[in-house]
Amino acid sequence: MLKNIKKELVPLIVTVISGGIIYYLALPALSFKSAGLWIYLLVLLLILEALLVMADIIHNKNLRFKAGISVKSGGIALALSILLFIVVSFLSSRVINSHEYANLMKDYIQEADFSSYKATLENVPLLDKDSAIQISNRELGSLIDVVSQFELGENEQITFNGKTVRVSPLYYGGFFKWNNNKSTGTPGYIKIDMMTQEAELIRLQKGIKYSPSEFFGRDLKRYLRTRYPSAIFTSFNFEINEDGEPFWIVPVEKHTIGLFGGVDIDYIFTVNAVTGDIDRYSAGNVPEWIDNVYNSDLIMSQYDDYGSLQNGFWNSVFGQKGVKVTTDGYNYIPQGNDNWIYTGVTSAGRDESNIGFILSNKRTKETIYYPVSGAEEYSAMSSSEGVVQHLGYTATFPLLLNVEGQPTYIMALKDAGGLVKMYGMVNVEKYQIVATSDTVQGCKQKYRELLKNNSMAVTENETERISGVIENIKTAAIDGTTYYYIKLVSIDSYFVLSAKDNQMIVLKNIGDTIIIDADKNSTEKIRSAVLVE
């Protein structure tokens, strides 16, 4: 009798110990609406059953397996648990809850005419994520005291004091480098201005001590899990507030359909990356400085459900009447102090044409649908690549702009090394209209000429002559050309002039008086201009 108890007790103890180790490493949410918890429990049952089988084999002197009561009971428990998991997963699925899934985003969507679309060449950054990461790595590589110990974390696009920037926290380069620096933390984060392409390491007075690169109690996921064991969080987004303080934005999921289905955001945690202070906000009451509440993939998934499940699940698979889905890709467009995700919308057949596109606010989930038919993004990318095929350049996923009232794709064209060499503009409705140039302004001018040649209305640029004293000068090297950003006394805007077209600008200094002709119709903070001799 004692021997039988011992035979079953050892597998139980080993299972409990294994469960503690697995929990410490995986940290599943202790909520039955978390699929991670179910998988965790199933793994423990599987381990226990395997150990019981091994104990039975060892217990028999002839080493032949003979299932005892405990083995049979464990097997039944495991089988029933797997069956239950499959059943509740099915009950949470789109197959039997299609209309509930279709309604997840319904109240957030409105339709608008393209004439109200505000994204123009003047207010949309053309630097993409890959290029931003390259610039960040170059900045990191130039800092001898930092590069040997730290590496770049995930790169996030945000709005910061009205500007579009990308920020990357510094992570430890491994366990031993963490051990060497854990008392001070990582020194800060790298910030890139997406308009000027200037990168800067922001050194903090006190280092970042809470992040995904930390170990043990300061590991961000473990730090939150010990305080909120039942919260279901899957992403950790790095952002900075308007004072430049670093935070982690952690959305917490709620499942609104069955146990596992209808994923949405219930509330968020903000974790001060330096002090570890935690605040909680409901999804409808998030501070304006926060950009990334709704994950891009979640937004696209909910819109796909809205567009494809209105007439039921089986219609989305077979008949596909009225079915529309997002295209395979997205980009970001700043609007005011928010970051919006952009993607095209196409019919279910994905016939290389779009029937419209959406902008969706990543903070509020507000979504605007613009019914504009034309080429889908990858067709436009191919059109641009075809013009420069002799150079072997590849196009980035485009942004949609309003150029002369025309829906227009703009994209960067990169060489094999990932460096931006040219820019391309493609008309959405007539994608045979393609312009390329090694500068943005040159590309726009060629595009305007092509619009004229195709009998499309083009507004003539109006300029105003401005005289003023130079208050500040900033420079940026873009595609081999140096651009000067000039701030004049008593004028809020910066005026951008290329050294290539305005050679005398290189001789100007702060305090000099200059005369320029600037774009009269522009109300943006950065206005193109020409130096008047």
Quick one: average pLDDT of 315-337? 88
Amino acid at 204: L
Q: What is the pLDDT of residue 527?
A: 77
Nearest alpha carbon to residue 44 among 68, 25, 18: 18
Nearest alpha carbon to residue 199 among 132, 130, 145: 132
Name the DSSP letter for residue 411. Answer: E
**CB neighbourhood size of 237 (10 A):** 19
**CB neighbourhood size of 327 (10 A):** 18
CA distance 340 to 296: 9
Asked if residue 121 has pLDDT above 80, the reply is no
Asked if residue 59 has pLDDT above 80, the reply is no
Q: What is the pLDDT of residue 65?
A: 52
Q: What is the pLDDT of residue 253?
A: 96
- Token code pair at residue 318: 């077979």
Q: What is the pLDDT of residue 143?
A: 79
Q: What is the pLDDT of residue 266?
A: 96
Mean pLDDT (the chain, rounded): 88
CA distance 317 to 327: 17
CA distance 296 to 331: 9
Name the residue with tokens 């001060």: 272
DSSP string, 223-245: HHHHH-TT--B---EEEE-TT--
Name the residue with tokens 């610039």: 135
Three-state DSSP state, 51: helix
Q: Backbone phi, then psi, for 133, in 5-degree steps?
A: -65, -40
pLDDT band at 533 (very low <50, low <70, confident <90, very high): low
Q: What is the pLDDT of residue 166?
A: 93
Q: What is the pLDDT of residue 93?
A: 94
Q: How far is CA 418 from CA 131, 358, 413, in A?
A: 7, 28, 9
Q: What is the pLDDT of residue 439?
A: 77
Q: What is the pLDDT of residue 7?
A: 65
- Token code pair at residue 466: 């401005």
pLDDT in tens, 129-139: 888 888 888 88
Quick one: average pLDDT of 358-379? 93
Q: What is the pLDDT of residue 82?
A: 92
Three-state DSSP state, 438: coil
Quick one: average pLDDT of 167-173? 94
Name the DSSP letter for residue 153. Answer: -
Three-state DSSP state, 316: helix
pLDDT band at 194 (very low <50, low <70, confident <90, very high): confident
Q: What is the pLDDT of residue 148?
A: 83
Q: Hey, which CATH number is domain 463-531, 1.25.40, 3.30.1050, 2.40.50, 2.60.40?
A: 2.40.50
Name the residue with tokens 């380069």: 173
Quick one: average pLDDT of 308-333? 90
Q: What is the pLDDT of residue 62?
A: 54
Asked if residue 294 has pLDDT above 80, the reply is yes
Question: What is the percent of the chain where pLDDT is above 70?
Answer: 93
Q: What is the pLDDT of residue 5?
A: 62
Asked if residue 459 has pLDDT above 70, the reply is no
429 vs 54, which has greater pLDDT? 429
Q: Are strands 526-531 and 494-498 parallel, antiparallel or unpaired?
A: parallel
Quick one: average pLDDT of 323-336? 89
Q: What is the pLDDT of residue 303?
A: 96
Nearest alpha carbon to residue 210 among 274, 123, 301: 274
pLDDT in tens, 486-497: 999 988 888 888
Name the DSSP letter for residue 170. Answer: E
pLDDT band at 368 (very low <50, low <70, confident <90, very high): very high
Global confidence as pTM? 0.83
